[in-house]
Structure 1
Amino acid sequence: MANKYRDVDIVTLPSKDILVIACDSCGAIGLKDQDVVKAPPFIVGKYTARVCLMEVIAVGAFPAAMTVNICNELEPTGREILQGIHDELEACNLLIPITISTEKNMETTMTALGVTVLGTCNDGDLRHDKVAKGNDIYVMGVPKMGQEVVEDQGEIATISSLLPILEWENVTEVIPVGSSGIKGELEKLLTQTGLHIDLDEGLSIDLTKSAGPCTAVLVFSRGPIEGNCAVPLTRIGKLK
Protein backbone atom coordinates (compact mmCIF):
# COMPACT_ATOMS: atom_id res chain seq x y z
CA MET A 1 0.00 0.00 0.00
CA ALA A 2 1.28 3.50 -0.86
CA ASN A 3 0.41 6.91 0.50
CA LYS A 4 1.53 10.43 -0.30
CA TYR A 5 3.19 12.59 2.34
CA ARG A 6 4.13 16.05 1.12
CA ASP A 7 6.54 15.46 -1.77
CA VAL A 8 7.33 11.80 -1.13
CA ASP A 9 5.51 8.53 -1.68
CA ILE A 10 5.62 6.02 1.16
CA VAL A 11 5.13 2.39 0.14
CA THR A 12 4.71 -0.56 2.48
CA LEU A 13 6.44 -3.54 0.86
CA PRO A 14 5.30 -7.17 1.23
CA SER A 15 8.20 -7.62 3.66
CA LYS A 16 6.63 -4.82 5.77
CA ASP A 17 9.71 -2.66 5.16
CA ILE A 18 8.99 0.91 4.07
CA LEU A 19 10.04 2.30 0.68
CA VAL A 20 10.24 6.10 0.40
CA ILE A 21 10.37 7.69 -3.07
CA ALA A 22 11.31 11.30 -3.86
CA CYS A 23 11.91 12.94 -7.24
CA ASP A 24 12.83 16.37 -8.57
CA SER A 25 13.25 17.98 -11.97
CA CYS A 26 15.40 20.89 -13.11
CA GLY A 27 15.03 22.69 -16.43
CA ALA A 28 16.51 25.78 -18.10
CA ILE A 29 19.34 26.03 -15.58
CA GLY A 30 22.79 25.40 -17.02
CA LEU A 31 25.19 26.73 -19.63
CA LYS A 32 23.32 25.93 -22.83
CA ASP A 33 22.10 28.67 -25.20
CA GLN A 34 18.44 28.58 -24.10
CA ASP A 35 19.05 28.21 -20.37
CA VAL A 36 17.38 30.99 -18.38
CA VAL A 37 19.67 30.81 -15.33
CA LYS A 38 23.34 30.35 -16.12
CA ALA A 39 25.00 27.86 -13.79
CA PRO A 40 27.58 25.10 -14.19
CA PRO A 41 26.04 21.65 -14.84
CA PHE A 42 28.00 20.49 -11.77
CA ILE A 43 25.80 22.75 -9.61
CA VAL A 44 22.66 21.59 -11.42
CA GLY A 45 23.44 17.97 -10.61
CA LYS A 46 24.53 18.61 -7.05
CA TYR A 47 21.46 20.58 -5.97
CA THR A 48 18.87 18.52 -7.83
CA ALA A 49 20.23 15.41 -6.11
CA ARG A 50 20.24 17.25 -2.78
CA VAL A 51 16.51 17.96 -3.00
CA CYS A 52 15.64 14.28 -3.35
CA LEU A 53 18.11 13.15 -0.72
CA MET A 54 16.79 15.72 1.76
CA GLU A 55 13.18 14.66 1.21
CA VAL A 56 14.00 11.00 1.82
CA ILE A 57 16.25 11.61 4.83
CA ALA A 58 13.77 14.07 6.40
CA VAL A 59 11.13 11.34 6.83
CA GLY A 60 13.60 8.94 8.41
CA ALA A 61 14.58 6.73 5.46
CA PHE A 62 18.09 5.82 4.34
CA PRO A 63 18.85 6.47 0.64
CA ALA A 64 19.37 3.13 -1.12
CA ALA A 65 19.36 3.92 -4.85
CA MET A 66 19.07 6.77 -7.33
CA THR A 67 17.97 7.26 -10.94
CA VAL A 68 19.32 10.15 -13.02
CA ASN A 69 17.58 11.16 -16.27
CA ILE A 70 19.78 13.63 -18.14
CA CYS A 71 17.93 15.11 -21.12
CA ASN A 72 21.23 16.16 -22.71
CA GLU A 73 24.35 14.62 -24.21
CA LEU A 74 26.76 12.75 -21.96
CA GLU A 75 29.76 14.87 -22.98
CA PRO A 76 30.22 17.41 -21.63
CA THR A 77 26.91 18.34 -19.94
CA GLY A 78 25.93 14.93 -18.61
CA ARG A 79 29.38 14.15 -17.29
CA GLU A 80 29.51 17.42 -15.35
CA ILE A 81 26.01 16.86 -13.94
CA LEU A 82 27.08 13.41 -12.73
CA GLN A 83 30.18 14.88 -11.12
CA GLY A 84 27.93 17.22 -9.11
CA ILE A 85 25.71 14.34 -8.04
CA HIS A 86 28.67 12.24 -6.95
CA ASP A 87 30.06 15.24 -5.05
CA GLU A 88 26.79 15.57 -3.10
CA LEU A 89 26.75 11.85 -2.32
CA GLU A 90 30.34 11.98 -1.09
CA ALA A 91 29.47 14.96 1.13
CA CYS A 92 26.80 12.75 2.74
CA ASN A 93 29.12 9.72 2.94
CA LEU A 94 26.71 7.81 0.72
CA LEU A 95 27.68 5.11 -1.75
CA ILE A 96 24.54 3.99 -3.59
CA PRO A 97 23.84 2.56 -7.06
CA ILE A 98 22.84 5.09 -9.74
CA THR A 99 20.82 4.18 -12.85
CA ILE A 100 21.59 6.72 -15.59
CA SER A 101 20.01 7.70 -18.91
CA THR A 102 21.20 10.44 -21.29
CA GLU A 103 19.95 11.89 -24.58
CA LYS A 104 21.69 10.11 -27.46
CA ASN A 105 19.60 11.08 -30.47
CA MET A 106 18.89 14.80 -30.40
CA GLU A 107 21.02 17.89 -30.02
CA THR A 108 19.65 19.95 -27.14
CA THR A 109 19.78 23.70 -26.50
CA MET A 110 18.47 23.73 -22.91
CA THR A 111 19.65 21.80 -19.86
CA ALA A 112 17.12 19.40 -18.30
CA LEU A 113 17.47 16.83 -15.53
CA GLY A 114 15.30 14.48 -13.49
CA VAL A 115 16.47 12.70 -10.33
CA THR A 116 14.70 10.07 -8.21
CA VAL A 117 15.92 8.72 -4.87
CA LEU A 118 14.64 5.52 -3.27
CA GLY A 119 15.07 5.06 0.45
CA THR A 120 14.11 2.38 2.95
CA CYS A 121 13.38 2.18 6.66
CA ASN A 122 11.35 0.32 9.26
CA ASP A 123 7.83 1.55 9.89
CA GLY A 124 8.77 2.65 13.40
CA ASP A 125 11.55 4.87 12.08
CA LEU A 126 9.33 7.06 9.91
CA ARG A 127 9.43 10.72 10.94
CA HIS A 128 6.17 12.01 9.48
CA ASP A 129 2.92 13.26 11.00
CA LYS A 130 4.85 14.02 14.20
CA VAL A 131 4.15 17.74 14.64
CA ALA A 132 1.85 18.68 17.51
CA LYS A 133 0.14 21.63 19.13
CA GLY A 134 2.66 23.67 21.11
CA ASN A 135 5.66 22.83 18.93
CA ASP A 136 8.07 25.69 18.28
CA ILE A 137 8.82 26.39 14.61
CA TYR A 138 12.29 27.18 13.31
CA VAL A 139 13.74 27.69 9.84
CA MET A 140 17.19 26.29 9.15
CA GLY A 141 18.90 28.11 6.29
CA VAL A 142 17.82 31.06 4.17
CA PRO A 143 15.41 30.79 1.20
CA LYS A 144 17.32 31.33 -2.05
CA MET A 145 16.74 30.49 -5.69
CA GLY A 146 18.41 30.72 -9.10
CA GLN A 147 21.61 32.73 -9.18
CA GLU A 148 21.44 33.27 -5.41
CA VAL A 149 22.07 29.56 -4.89
CA VAL A 150 25.14 29.68 -7.12
CA GLU A 151 26.49 32.68 -5.19
CA ASP A 152 25.60 31.41 -1.69
CA GLN A 153 28.14 31.97 1.06
CA GLY A 154 27.12 29.32 3.57
CA GLU A 155 23.55 30.42 4.40
CA ILE A 156 21.56 27.64 2.75
CA ALA A 157 20.57 24.35 4.37
CA THR A 158 22.64 21.30 3.50
CA ILE A 159 22.30 17.62 4.26
CA SER A 160 25.34 17.83 6.52
CA SER A 161 23.59 20.56 8.54
CA LEU A 162 20.31 18.62 8.56
CA LEU A 163 21.61 15.27 9.83
CA PRO A 164 22.70 16.48 13.32
CA ILE A 165 19.32 18.19 13.85
CA LEU A 166 17.53 14.88 13.31
CA GLU A 167 19.39 13.56 16.36
CA TRP A 168 18.31 16.39 18.68
CA GLU A 169 15.99 14.93 21.30
CA ASN A 170 13.30 17.62 21.23
CA VAL A 171 12.99 17.84 17.41
CA THR A 172 9.72 16.21 16.33
CA GLU A 173 9.83 16.66 12.55
CA VAL A 174 11.64 18.47 9.76
CA ILE A 175 10.19 19.58 6.43
CA PRO A 176 12.41 20.66 3.52
CA VAL A 177 11.20 23.86 1.86
CA GLY A 178 11.17 24.18 -1.92
CA SER A 179 9.60 26.42 -4.51
CA SER A 180 6.37 27.00 -2.55
CA GLY A 181 8.36 28.84 0.13
CA ILE A 182 8.03 28.67 3.90
CA LYS A 183 4.49 30.05 3.82
CA GLY A 184 3.40 27.47 1.26
CA GLU A 185 4.80 24.56 3.26
CA LEU A 186 3.18 25.83 6.44
CA GLU A 187 -0.19 26.23 4.72
CA LYS A 188 -0.04 22.62 3.52
CA LEU A 189 0.81 21.51 7.06
CA LEU A 190 -2.11 23.45 8.56
CA THR A 191 -4.53 21.98 6.04
CA GLN A 192 -3.30 18.50 6.88
CA THR A 193 -3.29 18.84 10.69
CA GLY A 194 -5.99 21.41 11.41
CA LEU A 195 -3.52 23.35 13.59
CA HIS A 196 -2.84 27.08 13.55
CA ILE A 197 0.32 29.19 13.76
CA ASP A 198 1.22 32.06 16.05
CA LEU A 199 4.00 33.82 14.13
CA ASP A 200 6.68 35.82 15.94
CA GLU A 201 6.79 39.55 15.31
CA GLY A 202 9.50 41.33 13.33
CA LEU A 203 10.67 38.31 11.37
CA SER A 204 13.83 38.90 9.34
CA ILE A 205 13.20 35.97 7.00
CA ASP A 206 10.95 36.12 3.91
CA LEU A 207 8.20 33.54 4.38
CA THR A 208 6.86 33.89 0.83
CA LYS A 209 10.11 33.56 -1.11
CA SER A 210 10.89 30.38 -3.02
CA ALA A 211 13.55 28.25 -1.36
CA GLY A 212 14.52 26.78 -4.74
CA PRO A 213 16.36 23.46 -4.31
CA CYS A 214 15.49 23.01 -0.60
CA THR A 215 17.74 25.82 0.60
CA ALA A 216 15.71 26.04 3.84
CA VAL A 217 14.19 23.47 6.20
CA LEU A 218 11.33 23.84 8.67
CA VAL A 219 12.21 22.38 12.07
CA PHE A 220 9.54 21.62 14.68
CA SER A 221 10.49 21.06 18.31
CA ARG A 222 9.11 20.50 21.78
CA GLY A 223 10.39 23.68 23.38
CA PRO A 224 13.30 25.93 22.37
CA ILE A 225 16.21 24.59 20.32
CA GLU A 226 19.49 25.28 22.05
CA GLY A 227 21.91 23.34 19.84
CA ASN A 228 24.34 24.95 17.42
CA CYS A 229 23.66 24.78 13.71
CA ALA A 230 26.12 25.16 10.84
CA VAL A 231 23.75 27.54 9.00
CA PRO A 232 21.35 30.26 10.24
CA LEU A 233 18.56 28.92 12.48
CA THR A 234 15.62 31.30 12.95
CA ARG A 235 12.61 30.86 15.24
CA ILE A 236 9.45 31.99 13.45
CA GLY A 237 6.60 30.99 15.76
CA LYS A 238 4.59 28.25 17.48
CA LEU A 239 1.86 25.81 16.50
CA LYS A 240 -1.42 26.21 18.36
Structure 2
Amino acid sequence: MRGMTIMKPQVQRIRDLTLVRREGSRVLVIGCDSSASIGNKPMDVIQTPPDIAGYYAARVAVMEVLSAGADILTVIDTLAVERNPTGSEIIRGIHRLLHEAGLTDAHVNGSTEDNFVSCQTGIGITVIGEADEEQLKLGCSAIGDCIVMLGEPLVGSAVLEQEAKQCSIRQLQQLAGAAEVHDIHPVGSKGAGYEAVLLAELNGGSFQALPGITEKLEASGGPATAVIFTIEKSNLELLQTSIGGKMEIIGHLYQ
Protein backbone atom coordinates (compact mmCIF):
# COMPACT_ATOMS: atom_id res chain seq x y z
CA MET A 1 0.00 0.00 0.00
CA ARG A 2 1.12 3.56 -0.72
CA GLY A 3 2.83 5.19 2.22
CA MET A 4 3.78 1.93 3.91
CA THR A 5 7.43 1.32 4.73
CA ILE A 6 8.54 -2.24 4.00
CA MET A 7 11.62 -3.36 5.89
CA LYS A 8 14.29 -4.79 3.65
CA PRO A 9 15.70 -8.12 4.82
CA GLN A 10 18.86 -7.74 6.90
CA VAL A 11 21.57 -10.27 6.10
CA GLN A 12 24.27 -11.26 8.58
CA ARG A 13 26.97 -13.91 8.46
CA ILE A 14 27.98 -15.68 11.67
CA ARG A 15 30.37 -18.63 11.56
CA ASP A 16 29.34 -20.69 8.52
CA LEU A 17 25.75 -19.51 8.80
CA THR A 18 23.80 -16.80 7.00
CA LEU A 19 21.00 -15.12 8.97
CA VAL A 20 18.21 -13.30 7.17
CA ARG A 21 16.05 -11.06 9.34
CA ARG A 22 12.72 -9.94 7.91
CA GLU A 23 9.70 -8.18 9.35
CA GLY A 24 8.52 -9.99 12.43
CA SER A 25 10.52 -12.06 14.88
CA ARG A 26 11.34 -15.07 12.69
CA VAL A 27 14.87 -15.38 11.32
CA LEU A 28 15.98 -17.53 8.40
CA VAL A 29 19.11 -19.56 9.22
CA ILE A 30 21.00 -20.94 6.20
CA GLY A 31 23.93 -23.34 6.21
CA CYS A 32 25.77 -25.27 3.52
CA ASP A 33 28.54 -27.81 3.00
CA SER A 34 30.24 -29.63 0.15
CA SER A 35 31.94 -32.97 -0.35
CA ALA A 36 34.25 -34.04 -3.18
CA SER A 37 36.15 -37.19 -4.10
CA ILE A 38 34.32 -39.28 -1.49
CA GLY A 39 32.27 -42.08 -3.03
CA ASN A 40 32.65 -45.14 -5.24
CA LYS A 41 33.52 -43.56 -8.59
CA PRO A 42 36.86 -44.38 -10.30
CA MET A 43 38.57 -41.08 -9.41
CA ASP A 44 37.27 -40.77 -5.85
CA VAL A 45 40.14 -40.49 -3.38
CA ILE A 46 38.19 -42.03 -0.49
CA GLN A 47 36.22 -45.07 -1.58
CA THR A 48 32.94 -45.40 0.32
CA PRO A 49 29.32 -46.26 -0.53
CA PRO A 50 27.44 -43.23 -1.95
CA ASP A 51 24.72 -43.41 0.70
CA ILE A 52 27.36 -42.99 3.42
CA ALA A 53 28.82 -40.00 1.56
CA GLY A 54 25.34 -38.46 1.32
CA TYR A 55 24.56 -39.07 4.97
CA TYR A 56 27.66 -37.34 6.28
CA ALA A 57 27.59 -34.51 3.75
CA ALA A 58 24.07 -33.66 4.91
CA ARG A 59 24.98 -34.12 8.57
CA VAL A 60 27.43 -31.20 8.62
CA ALA A 61 25.02 -28.59 7.23
CA VAL A 62 22.06 -29.92 9.22
CA MET A 63 24.03 -29.74 12.47
CA GLU A 64 25.14 -26.19 11.73
CA VAL A 65 21.53 -25.04 11.37
CA LEU A 66 20.21 -27.06 14.31
CA SER A 67 23.01 -25.76 16.55
CA ALA A 68 21.71 -22.22 16.04
CA GLY A 69 18.37 -23.25 17.54
CA ALA A 70 16.53 -23.27 14.20
CA ASP A 71 13.88 -25.62 12.88
CA ILE A 72 14.73 -27.02 9.44
CA LEU A 73 12.42 -26.02 6.60
CA THR A 74 14.14 -27.68 3.66
CA VAL A 75 17.34 -29.39 2.51
CA ILE A 76 18.62 -28.87 -1.05
CA ASP A 77 21.12 -31.29 -2.58
CA THR A 78 23.13 -30.33 -5.67
CA LEU A 79 24.80 -33.51 -6.88
CA ALA A 80 27.53 -33.55 -9.52
CA VAL A 81 26.67 -37.16 -10.42
CA GLU A 82 24.04 -38.97 -12.49
CA ARG A 83 20.63 -39.66 -10.96
CA ASN A 84 20.96 -43.43 -11.20
CA PRO A 85 22.53 -45.24 -9.63
CA THR A 86 24.85 -42.87 -7.70
CA GLY A 87 22.53 -39.92 -7.12
CA SER A 88 19.72 -42.09 -5.81
CA GLU A 89 22.07 -43.73 -3.32
CA ILE A 90 23.38 -40.37 -2.09
CA ILE A 91 19.80 -39.14 -1.66
CA ARG A 92 18.96 -42.30 0.28
CA GLY A 93 21.73 -41.42 2.73
CA ILE A 94 20.42 -37.85 3.02
CA HIS A 95 16.94 -39.17 3.76
CA ARG A 96 18.32 -41.44 6.49
CA LEU A 97 19.98 -38.47 8.19
CA LEU A 98 16.82 -36.36 7.97
CA HIS A 99 14.64 -39.14 9.36
CA GLU A 100 16.92 -39.14 12.42
CA ALA A 101 16.05 -35.43 12.77
CA GLY A 102 12.32 -36.17 12.56
CA LEU A 103 11.98 -34.82 9.01
CA THR A 104 10.39 -36.42 5.97
CA ASP A 105 11.36 -36.99 2.34
CA ALA A 106 9.24 -33.96 1.45
CA HIS A 107 11.86 -31.72 3.10
CA VAL A 108 14.40 -32.63 0.38
CA ASN A 109 14.77 -31.24 -3.15
CA GLY A 110 17.70 -30.93 -5.52
CA SER A 111 19.28 -31.78 -8.84
CA THR A 112 21.70 -34.19 -10.48
CA GLU A 113 24.02 -34.09 -13.50
CA ASP A 114 22.54 -36.21 -16.30
CA ASN A 115 24.05 -34.49 -19.33
CA PHE A 116 27.64 -35.63 -18.85
CA VAL A 117 29.34 -38.72 -17.48
CA SER A 118 30.96 -38.11 -14.09
CA CYS A 119 33.99 -40.06 -12.89
CA GLN A 120 34.28 -38.37 -9.50
CA THR A 121 31.67 -37.71 -6.80
CA GLY A 122 30.66 -34.16 -5.91
CA ILE A 123 27.98 -33.24 -3.37
CA GLY A 124 26.62 -29.85 -2.33
CA ILE A 125 24.12 -29.41 0.51
CA THR A 126 22.17 -26.30 1.50
CA VAL A 127 19.93 -26.28 4.58
CA ILE A 128 17.37 -23.57 5.31
CA GLY A 129 15.91 -23.26 8.78
CA GLU A 130 13.90 -20.74 10.77
CA ALA A 131 13.92 -19.59 14.39
CA ASP A 132 12.49 -16.95 16.67
CA GLU A 133 15.06 -14.24 17.37
CA GLU A 134 15.02 -14.90 21.12
CA GLN A 135 15.58 -18.64 20.57
CA LEU A 136 18.80 -18.24 18.58
CA LYS A 137 21.75 -19.84 20.32
CA LEU A 138 24.25 -17.36 18.95
CA GLY A 139 26.20 -14.92 21.12
CA CYS A 140 24.14 -15.66 24.23
CA SER A 141 26.83 -17.06 26.55
CA ALA A 142 27.81 -15.52 29.88
CA ILE A 143 31.30 -14.83 31.17
CA GLY A 144 32.15 -17.68 33.52
CA ASP A 145 30.28 -20.33 31.54
CA CYS A 146 32.09 -23.63 31.14
CA ILE A 147 32.67 -24.85 27.60
CA VAL A 148 31.74 -28.50 27.18
CA MET A 149 32.34 -30.99 24.38
CA LEU A 150 29.72 -33.63 23.61
CA GLY A 151 30.92 -36.50 21.43
CA GLU A 152 34.41 -37.29 20.14
CA PRO A 153 36.24 -35.60 17.25
CA LEU A 154 36.55 -38.34 14.63
CA VAL A 155 37.80 -38.38 11.06
CA GLY A 156 38.36 -40.91 8.28
CA SER A 157 37.62 -44.56 9.00
CA ALA A 158 37.10 -43.78 12.71
CA VAL A 159 33.83 -42.04 11.82
CA LEU A 160 32.24 -45.36 10.86
CA GLU A 161 34.18 -47.55 13.28
CA GLN A 162 33.32 -45.45 16.35
CA GLU A 163 29.85 -44.22 15.46
CA ALA A 164 28.62 -44.67 19.04
CA LYS A 165 31.04 -41.94 20.20
CA GLN A 166 29.49 -39.28 17.97
CA CYS A 167 27.09 -36.58 19.08
CA SER A 168 23.83 -37.76 17.56
CA ILE A 169 21.31 -35.57 15.77
CA ARG A 170 18.83 -36.30 18.55
CA GLN A 171 21.30 -35.21 21.23
CA LEU A 172 21.97 -31.98 19.35
CA GLN A 173 18.25 -31.28 19.11
CA GLN A 174 17.96 -31.81 22.87
CA LEU A 175 20.85 -29.40 23.47
CA ALA A 176 19.25 -26.79 21.23
CA GLY A 177 15.95 -27.15 23.08
CA ALA A 178 17.49 -26.79 26.55
CA ALA A 179 17.12 -23.28 27.98
CA GLU A 180 20.19 -23.74 30.18
CA VAL A 181 22.40 -24.36 27.13
CA HIS A 182 23.72 -21.16 25.58
CA ASP A 183 25.86 -21.21 22.40
CA ILE A 184 26.42 -24.44 20.45
CA HIS A 185 29.16 -24.95 17.84
CA PRO A 186 29.69 -28.12 15.79
CA VAL A 187 33.36 -29.15 15.74
CA GLY A 188 34.77 -29.10 12.21
CA SER A 189 38.12 -29.86 10.63
CA LYS A 190 39.92 -27.12 12.59
CA GLY A 191 39.12 -28.74 15.91
CA ALA A 192 37.33 -27.91 19.15
CA GLY A 193 39.96 -25.38 20.22
CA TYR A 194 39.37 -23.26 17.12
CA GLU A 195 35.60 -23.35 17.67
CA ALA A 196 36.00 -22.48 21.36
CA VAL A 197 38.09 -19.41 20.55
CA LEU A 198 35.53 -18.35 17.93
CA LEU A 199 32.66 -18.90 20.38
CA ALA A 200 34.43 -16.78 23.01
CA GLU A 201 35.11 -13.96 20.54
CA LEU A 202 31.46 -13.90 19.44
CA ASN A 203 30.54 -13.39 23.10
CA GLY A 204 33.12 -10.68 23.80
CA GLY A 205 35.30 -12.95 25.92
CA SER A 206 38.27 -15.29 25.71
CA PHE A 207 38.69 -19.04 25.92
CA GLN A 208 40.79 -20.56 28.69
CA ALA A 209 41.44 -24.23 28.06
CA LEU A 210 41.89 -26.80 30.78
CA PRO A 211 45.52 -27.97 31.00
CA GLY A 212 46.67 -31.13 29.26
CA ILE A 213 44.06 -31.38 26.50
CA THR A 214 45.83 -29.62 23.62
CA GLU A 215 45.83 -32.75 21.45
CA LYS A 216 42.07 -33.22 21.87
CA LEU A 217 41.42 -29.55 21.08
CA GLU A 218 43.40 -29.77 17.84
CA ALA A 219 41.84 -33.04 16.59
CA SER A 220 39.66 -32.71 13.50
CA GLY A 221 35.96 -33.16 14.11
CA GLY A 222 35.51 -34.54 10.58
CA PRO A 223 31.79 -34.47 9.67
CA ALA A 224 30.81 -32.72 12.93
CA THR A 225 31.06 -35.83 15.11
CA ALA A 226 31.30 -33.59 18.20
CA VAL A 227 29.87 -30.26 19.34
CA ILE A 228 30.90 -27.76 21.99
CA PHE A 229 28.45 -25.71 24.02
CA THR A 230 28.37 -23.27 26.92
CA ILE A 231 26.46 -23.71 30.16
CA GLU A 232 26.66 -22.74 33.82
CA LYS A 233 28.60 -25.49 35.56
CA SER A 234 25.82 -25.96 38.13
CA ASN A 235 23.43 -27.04 35.35
CA LEU A 236 25.76 -29.54 33.68
CA GLU A 237 25.10 -32.64 35.78
CA LEU A 238 21.34 -32.54 35.24
CA LEU A 239 21.82 -31.96 31.51
CA GLN A 240 24.20 -34.95 31.33
CA THR A 241 21.58 -37.14 32.98
CA SER A 242 18.81 -36.08 30.60
CA ILE A 243 20.75 -36.19 27.31
CA GLY A 244 23.45 -38.79 27.86
CA GLY A 245 26.59 -39.21 25.81
CA LYS A 246 30.12 -38.29 26.81
CA MET A 247 30.34 -34.69 28.03
CA GLU A 248 33.71 -33.20 28.93
CA ILE A 249 34.54 -29.70 30.13
CA ILE A 250 37.33 -28.36 27.89
CA GLY A 251 37.61 -24.87 29.35
CA HIS A 252 35.83 -21.71 30.43
CA LEU A 253 34.69 -18.40 29.00
CA TYR A 254 36.56 -15.46 30.57
CA GLN A 255 36.51 -11.70 30.09
Question: What interval of TM-score do these two structures reach, taking the shorter chain for normalisation?
Answer: over 0.9
1:126 to 121, 136, 160: 136
1:20 aligns to 2:7 (yes or no): no
Q: Which deviates more, 43-52 or 20-29? A: 43-52
**1:3 equivalent in structure 2:** 12
Q: Is the 8 A contact 1:37 1:147 kept in 2?
A: no
* Identical residues among aligned pairs (%): 33
Separation (CA, whole Å) in 1 of partners of 2:178 and 2:23 = 32
**1:154 equivalent in structure 2:** 164
Separation (CA, whole Å) in 2 of partners of 1:168 and 1:125 = 10
Separation (CA, whole Å) in 2 of partners of 1:64 and 1:53 = 11
Separation (CA, whole Å) in 2 of partners of 1:184 and 1:127 = 18
2:55 to 31, 46, 49: 46
Cα RMSD over matched residues? Answer: 1.7
Q: What SS is found at the alignment partner of 1:206?
A: helix
Structure 2 stretches lacking a partner, 5+ long: 1-9
* Alignment coverage as a number of residue pairs: 240
How far has the Cα of 1:15 moved from its partner? 4.6
CA-to-partner distance for each residue in 1:74-132, whole Å, 9 max, x for gaps? 11111110001111111111124322110111111111100001011222221110122
Q: Is the 8 A contact 1:39 1:150 kept in 2?
A: no
**1:72 equivalent in structure 2:** 81
**2:40 equivalent in structure 1:** 31
Q: Is the 8 A contact 2:187 2:226 kept in 1?
A: yes
1:200 to 210, 222, 240: 210
What's the TM-score once normalised by structure 2's chain length?
0.88
Aligned ranges 1:93-132 → 2 under 5 Å: 93-95=102-104, 96-132=106-142
Q: Is the 8 A contact 1:38 1:147 kept in 2?
A: no
Q: Which consecutive segments of 4 or more residues in structure 1 shift more than 4 A?
A: none
Q: What SS is found at the alignment partner of 2:164?
A: coil
Query: Comparing both structures, which one devotes a greater share of its residues to helix?
Result: 2
Question: Partner letter of residue 5 of structure 1?
Answer: I
Structure 1 stretches lacking a partner, 5+ long: none
Question: Partner letter of residue 196 of structure 2?
Answer: L
Q: What SS is found at the alignment partner of 1:44?
A: helix
Q: What SS is found at the alignment partner of 2:233?
A: coil
Separation (CA, whole Å) in 2 of partners of 1:34 and 1:231 = 37
Larger radius of gyration: 2
